């Protein structure tokens, strides 16, 4: 039963990782580049939510109404000021620029706040659970996180497959020049993708803050987890990313049962194993490949 519980908890933890991975997958899928400040931006969202909670007394859930559009605007600014320009310089430039941004953001947060860990208070909902048996219980909040992750990821997949704008995004990804000839403004598509990606980063950041404590430097680990989820699932597949997040989450919680000292290490090792054995990921599909 302990093991079943570990798997169930991992499934739900995986929801959070998938939520983190979603924006990374989307940006890579459309722009073929990786935003190395991804994790730090989600921590910025968590601090933003905390500021609203502290100053207005709102529930963290309510702050999503401001954090999501706020992060979308951050995405627009990031795209217009940094990424558009960097993409024009070389393939390496976006990596270097966003890594610089990552270092600056972490230390800016350290300067504004402190190295102390913070949490977004959600009261009794955070600890409430549905007890199935003595050793197996399902927390309301982790369950909600998994639900939100599924809705967000499947929503994005549906958008890419069905919506006109989604088609435009896929066309731009496949061949920006030809897409441009068909009347698709690639600059607009990139900006839209960045806004959408950062909106999901906002959701991920707030859910991270409600689930566990965070510090200005927490972003790095979540960038790594998000990346592992993407690669395990298969680069370019949104549905795969959801599955990848869950595999990573389960690896960590089951790993904690095997070696309580280092669940993270076991997660990394599972990732490396997948990379060696199935370098194209477990669930490669063609949606964003």
Partner 1 sequence: MSAHAAATPDPAGAPAGSGSGPRVRRSARFGWISFVIFAVVVALMALVPVTESVGNINNLTQLLILIVMGVTWNLLAGYAGLVSIGLQAFIGLGGYILLDLADNNAVQPFVALALTALLCGVVALVSSFVVFRLRGGYFAIGTWVVAEVFSLITQQINSLGGGSGTSLDALSYLEPITRLKDVYWAALICAVITLVGVYWLLRSRTGLALTATRDDEDGARSLGVRSTLTRRIAYTVAGIGCGAAGGLLLMSNLDIVPSSAYSVNLSAYMIFIVLIGGLGTIEGPVIGAVVFWYIQLEFASDGAYYLIALGALAVLMTLVLPGGIAGLIRRVTHVDPFPVGYTLASEEPTSGGAEGP
- Applying CB under 8 A, which residues contact partner 1? 28, 32-34, 36, 82, 85-86, 89-97, 99-108, 110-111, 220, 223-224, 227-228, 230-231, 235, 261-262, 264-265, 268-269, 271-272, 275-276, 279
Nearer to partner 1 (CB atom), residue 42 or residue 145: 42
Shortest Cβ 253–partner 1 spacing (Å)? 17
Nearer to partner 1 (CB atom), residue 181 or residue 261: 261
Nearer to partner 1 (CB atom), residue 138 or residue 264: 264
Shortest Cβ 91–partner 1 spacing (Å)? 6
Nearer to partner 1 (CB atom), residue 34 or residue 150: 34
Shortest Cβ 163–partner 1 spacing (Å)? 26
Tell me the three-class secondary structure of 18-75, residue by residue. Answer: HHHHHHHHHHHHHHCCCCCCHHHHHHHHHHHHHHHHHHHCCCHHHHHHHHHHHHHHHH
Cβ contacts of 232 within 8 Å, gap of 6 or more: 243, 244, 247, 248, 270, 271, 274, 281, 282
Nearer to partner 1 (CB atom), residue 250 or residue 266: 266
Shortest Cβ 158–partner 1 spacing (Å)? 25
Question: Rounded distance, CA 153 to CA 241, Å?
Answer: 8
Burial class (CB in 10 A: 0-12, 13-18, 19+), 63: buried
Question: Rounded distance, CA 51 to CA 217, Å?
Answer: 18
Shortest Cβ 40–partner 1 spacing (Å)? 10
């Amino acid at each position: 039963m302990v093991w079943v519980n570990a798997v169930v908890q991992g499934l739900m933890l995986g929801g959070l990782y998938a939520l983190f991975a979603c924006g990374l997958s989307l940006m890579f899928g459309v722009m073929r580049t990786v935003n190395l400040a991804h994790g730090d931006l989600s921590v910025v969202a968590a601090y933003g939510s905390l500021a609203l909670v502290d100053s207005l007394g709102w529930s963290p859930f309510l702050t999503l109404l401001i954090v999501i559009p706020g992060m979308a605007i951050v995405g627009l600014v990031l795209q217009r000021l940094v990424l558009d320009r960097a993409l024009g310089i070389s393939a390496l430039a976006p990596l270097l620029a966003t890594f610089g941004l990552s270092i600056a953001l972490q230390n800016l947060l350290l300067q504004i706040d402190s190295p102390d860990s913070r949490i977004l208070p959600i009261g009794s909902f955070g600890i409430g659970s549905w007890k199935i048996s003595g050793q197996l219980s399902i927390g309301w909040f982790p369950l909600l996180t998994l639900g939100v992750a599924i809705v967000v990821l499947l929503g994005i997949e549906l958008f890419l497959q069905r919506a006109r704008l989604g088609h435009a995004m896929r066309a731009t990804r496949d061949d920006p020049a030809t897409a441009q000839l068909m009347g698709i403004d690639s600059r607009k598509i990139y900006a839209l993708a960045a806004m959408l990606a950062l909106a999901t980063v906002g959701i991920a950041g707030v859910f991270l803050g409600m689930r566990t404590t965070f510090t200005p430097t927490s972003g790095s680990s979540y960038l790594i987890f998000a990346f592992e989820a993407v690669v395990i699932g298969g680069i370019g597949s949104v549905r795969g990313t959801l599955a990848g997040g869950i595999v990573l989450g389960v690896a960590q919680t089951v790993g904690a049962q095997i070696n309580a000292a280092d669940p993270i290490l076991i997660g990394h090792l599972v990732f490396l194993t997948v990379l060696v054995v199935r370098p194209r990921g477990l669930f490669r599909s063609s949606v964003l490949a």
